[in-house]
Amino acid sequence: MTDYVIAPSILSANFAKLGEEVDQVLNDGADWVHFDVMDNHYVPNLTIGPMVCKALRDHGVTAPIDVHLMVEPVDRIIPDFAEAGASMITFHPEASKHVDRSLQLIRDHGCKSGLVFNPATPLTVLEWAIEKVDMILLMSVNPGFGGQSFIPFVKQKIVEARKLIDASGRNIRLEVDGGVKASNIGELAALGADTFVAGSAIFNQSDYASVINEMRSNISAATK
Whether 134 is a known active-site residue: answer no
- Non-local (6+) Cβ contacts of 6 within 8 A are 29, 30, 31, 32, 196, 198, 212, 215, 216
Is 23 an active-site residue? Answer: no
Q: Which of 39, 66, 134, 177 is catalytic?
A: 177
Instruction: Select which of 36, 39, 134, 194 is catalytic.
Output: 36
- DSSP line for 44-98: S-B---HHHHHHHHHHT--S-EEEEEE-SS-TTTHHHHHHHT-SEEEE-GGG-S-
Whether 150 contacts 178, CB under 8 Å: yes
In angstroms, the CA 98 to CA 89 distance is 16
- SS3 at position 205: coil
Q: What residues act catalytically?
A: 36, 177
